[in-house]
């Protein structure tokens, strides 16, 4: 471990919570679905990076499992290829890590396979703390929990632990989310469950609470008196790729709104928690979700635009329309774009519109939160200038840049009254100046530490579904607006989008 590495884990500068590797118990990480895309592209590179940083407790083992018949050697070879697609490493570096890896075939429906797995995990010398990572289609989560329970692997004797990590989607609607949770809770207690939302592990998203509550500057303005609107955008250039089977059932509302956009909304709009602790933060998020004005009610009633991409061009390359994607029905009515306006019925936000926008095959990949302040109440320069003065805006950019930019007006040098827009900007330092953990590295580290702060709690999942169900009910009954791939969405949304995003 080099001198700078502990800093990367705790934070590179400023006042940081110390990272204490010695406080972590050695554990056996069992990846279920280890032959799949998530393991290859995200988990294994993240685990390797953590290992290299010295953030995996010594004695950790990583066991890949799946129905695919692979030897451990074959699995290691595949993982080496996967890691090398993302970073360079020497054979010597690799061999130190490869010693931690093994693979076992596991048919999820076969109890005998689980008995064998349990015996393997209980062999002397292997850590008794276990993390089970479901890198699997979600319809397998309940089976996995049930089988783990049947062979007693959900239990551990303190200070050892047994934890289950699951990936979104958490259900397809409110009823299935509740049913899934009930199945998981038959075997696991809430504190053993980790529901991942990788947006919560993004730096700028995590920074929201620090920015809002570690500065005296913003909070007095963070309300209906000074804020005109809030826009949360997660646009993508990508289409559905290989995931048509999943996406055509999910659509943009389930894929992005139910989870990532709702979490960003909660962090922007929630009340200050009394302490930076899991329960207090989760309680405030739940309160916020409960304050959402039910869709289609109230005055003004929330608005929704839905769209689906047609053939077009992305970066000069022709791309097919959604209905021509492999695996998508030729008459699919799945929305690949949505722009939702919502209101929060509480003292702070009464009357302030929040806009949530996400879509595939849009003009650019952009993830950001825009806080649009109100116009100044009176302009003393009105009679001197030809145009109104643009209002202030705080931009929290997550992708492609990670930055915080405050848009202001200042006098530009020269003539008497000469106003010019400027930005006070904080750009996140880039490696190597400040090496940083990526989202999956942080997620895995939090699971090792048993820290639930940046995961979903079940009440939040249910409240988010409860809010969204009437919105989902609109799919099929309101027009699905076509948009050209590579544009900013349906023409019907163009004027509003331009205003919201300042484009
Ligand atoms: N891929 C990504 O970038 C992301 C994925 N996720 C979530 O992570 C989870 C895993 O995703 P991903 O790796 O892409 O999924 P994959 O489709 O690649 O499936 C993972 C593995 O699961 C096993 N599997 C597939 N179908 C079944 C089935 N019907 N029954 C039992 N096992 C099955 C297969 O392994 P085998 O045949 O060897 O058993 C497969 O290799 C999903 O919940 C997904 O929503 C979340 C965010 C990003
Ligand atoms: O969860 C998902 O997120 C990705 C976008 O994630 P990002 O980190 O690249 O912004 C999205 O492409 C995918 O459809 C969705 O399932």
- Could you tell me the domains of the chain? 5-167 (3.40.50.720), 200-501 (3.30.360.10)
Query: What was the pLDDT predicted at 5?
Result: 47
Q: Is 255 a pocket residue for ligand 2 (Cβ < 6 Å)?
A: yes
36 is in an annotated binding site: yes
Residue 215 has which token pair? 């500065």
pLDDT mean over 404-422: 88
Query: What was the pLDDT predicted at 203?
Result: 85
Q: Is 49 a pocket residue for ligand 2 (Cβ < 6 Å)?
A: no
Confidence of residue 384 (pLDDT cuts 50, 70, 90): confident
Print the SS3 string covering 62-92. Answer: EEEEECCCCCHHHHHHHHHHHHHCCCCCCHH
ipTM value of the model?
0.96
Ligand 1 atom showing the smallest separation from residue 134 Cα: 9
- What is the distance between the alpha carbons of residues 446 and 211, in angstroms, rounded to a whole number? 21
Cα 166 to middle of ligand 1, angstroms: 11
Mean residue pLDDT of the chain comes to: 92
Counting ligand 1 atoms within 8 A of each CB, the residue from 31, 32, 36 with the most, and so the one to mutate, is 36
Query: What was the pLDDT predicted at 302?
Result: 67
**Which residue is it, tokens 């989310």?**
177
Contact by Cβ (8 Å): 237, 174: no
Closest CA to 197 of 452, 487, 465: 452
Q: Is 236 a pocket residue for ligand 2 (Cβ < 6 Å)?
A: yes
Q: Is 167 a pocket residue for ligand 1 (Cβ < 6 Å)?
A: yes
CA-nearest residue for atom 15, ligand 2, is 255
- Count CB neighbours of 268 within 10 A: 21
pLDDT surpasses 60 at 446: yes
Print the SS3 string covering 211-228. Answer: HHHCCCCCHHHCCCCCEE
- What is the distance between the alpha carbons of residues 358 and 369, in angstroms, rounded to a whole number? 12
pLDDT surpasses 90 at 381: no
At residue 424's C-alpha, the angle toward residues 420 and 428, to 5°, is: 145
Cα 327 to middle of ligand 1, angstroms: 17
Ligand 2 atom showing the smallest separation from residue 439 Cα: 8
54 is in an annotated binding site: no
Q: Percentages helix, strand, coil for the chain, rounded to the nearest 5?
A: 35, 20, 40
CA-nearest residue for atom 45, ligand 1, is 168
Q: Which helix (H) or strand (E) holds 405?
A: strand 403-411
Confirm whether pTM is higher than 0.95: no
Residue 403 has which token pair? 């930055």
pLDDT mean over 425-443: 75
Confidence of residue 3 (pLDDT cuts 50, 70, 90): very low
Confidence of residue 23 (pLDDT cuts 50, 70, 90): confident
Closest CA to 457 of 255, 201, 195: 195
**Which residue is it, tokens 């570096």?**
93
441 is in an annotated binding site: no
Dihedral (Cα; 217, 220, 224, 229), 10-degree rounding? 10
pLDDT surpasses 70 at 382: yes
Contact by Cβ (8 Å): 307, 483: yes
- What is the distance between the alpha carbons of residues 423 and 104, in angstroms, rounded to a whole number? 55
193-196 vs 317-319, strand pairing mode: unpaired
393 is in an annotated binding site: no
Contact by Cβ (8 Å): 101, 75: yes
pLDDT surpasses 90 at 340: yes
3-state class of 270 per DSSP? coil
Residue 317 has which token pair? 């390359």
Confidence of residue 2 (pLDDT cuts 50, 70, 90): very low
Cα 398 to middle of ligand 1, angstroms: 27
Confidence of residue 434 (pLDDT cuts 50, 70, 90): very low
- What is the distance between the alpha carbons of residues 308 and 320, in angstroms, rounded to a whole number? 12
Axis crossing angle, helix 91-98 with helix 44-53, rounded to the nearest 10? 100
pLDDT surpasses 60 at 432: no
Q: Is 35 a pocket residue for ligand 1 (Cβ < 6 Å)?
A: yes
Question: Could you give the C-alpha distances from 241 to 167, 192, 327, in angstroms and in order?
Answer: 19, 33, 10
- What is the distance between the alpha carbons of residues 82 and 216, in angstroms, rounded to a whole number? 45
- What is the distance between the alpha carbons of residues 12 and 14, in angstroms, rounded to a whole number? 7
360 is in an annotated binding site: yes
Q: Is 197 a pocket residue for ligand 2 (Cβ < 6 Å)?
A: no
Contact by Cβ (8 Å): 388, 372: no
Residue numbers annotated as active site:
260
Contacts of residue 475, defined as CB under 8 A and 6 or more positions apart, other chains included, come to 251, 253, 306, 333, 334, 335
Bridge partners of residue 126, in order along the sequence: none
Cα 254 to middle of ligand 2, angstroms: 12
- What is the distance between the alpha carbons of residues 355 and 338, in angstroms, rounded to a whole number? 10
Contact by Cβ (8 Å): 131, 29: yes
């Amino acid at each position: 471990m080099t001198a700078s590495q502990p800093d990367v884990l705790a934070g590179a500068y400023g006042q940081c919570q110390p990272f204490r590797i010695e406080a972590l118990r050695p554990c056996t990480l069992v990846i279920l679905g280890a032959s799949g895309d998530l393991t290859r592209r995200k988990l294994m590179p993240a685990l390797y990076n953590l290992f290299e940083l010295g953030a995996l407790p010594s004695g950790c083992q990583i066991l890949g499992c799946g129905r695919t018949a692979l030897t451990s050697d074959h699995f290691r070879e595949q993982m080496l290829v996967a890691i090398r697609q993302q970073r360079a490493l020497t054979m010597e570096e690799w061999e130190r890590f490869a010693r931690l890896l093994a693979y076992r075939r596991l048919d999820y429906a076969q109890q005998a396979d689980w008995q064998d797995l349990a015996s393997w995990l209980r062999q002397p010398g292997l850590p008794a703390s276990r993390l089970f990572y479901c890198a699997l289609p979600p319809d397998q989560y309940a089976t996995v929990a049930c089988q783990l329970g049947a062979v007693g692997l959900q239990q551990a004797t303190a200070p050892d632990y047994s934890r289950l990590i699951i990936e979104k989607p958490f259900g397809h609607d409110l009823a299935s989310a509740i049913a899934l949770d009930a199945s998981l809770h038959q075997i696991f207690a809430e504190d053993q469950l980790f529901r991942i939302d990788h947006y919560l592990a993004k730096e700028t998203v995590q920074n929201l609470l620090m920015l809002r509550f570690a500065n005296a500057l913003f909070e007095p303005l963070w309300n209906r008196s000074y804020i005109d609107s809030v826009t949360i955008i997660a646009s993508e250039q990508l289409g559905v790729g290989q995931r048509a089977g999943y996406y055509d059932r999910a659509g943009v509302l389930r894929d992005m709104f139910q989870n990532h956009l709702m979490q960003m909304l909660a962090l922007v709009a929630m009340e200050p928690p009394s302490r930076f602790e899991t329960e207090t933060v989760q309680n405030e998020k739940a309160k916020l979700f409960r304050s959402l004005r039910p869709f289609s009610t109230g005055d003004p009633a929330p608005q929704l635009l839905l769209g689906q991409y047609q053939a077009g061009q992305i970066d000069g390359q022709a791309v097919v329309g959604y209905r021509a994607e492999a695996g998508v029905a030729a008459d699919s009515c799945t929305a690949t774009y949505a722009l939702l306006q919502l209101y929060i019925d509480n003292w702070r936000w009464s009357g302030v519109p929040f806009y949530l926008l996400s879509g595939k095959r849009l003009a650019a990949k952009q993830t950001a939160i825009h806080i649009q302040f109100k116009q100044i109440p009176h302009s003393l320069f009105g009679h001197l200038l030809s145009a109104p003065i643009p209002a202030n805006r705080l931009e929290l950019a997550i992708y492609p840049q990670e930055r915080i930019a405050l848009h202001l007006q200042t006098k530009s040098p020269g003539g008497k009254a000469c106003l010019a827009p400027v930005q006070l900007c904080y750009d996140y330092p880039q490696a190597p100046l400040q090496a940083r953990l990526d989202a999956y590295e942080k997620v895995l580290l939090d699971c090792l530490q048993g820290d639930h702060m940046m995961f979903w709690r079940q009440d939040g999942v249910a409240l988010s579904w409860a809010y969204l169900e009437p919105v989902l009910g609109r799919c099929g009954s309101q027009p699905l607006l076509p948009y050209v791939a590579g544009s900013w969405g349906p023409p019907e949304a163009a004027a509003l989008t331009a205003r919201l995003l300042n484009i």
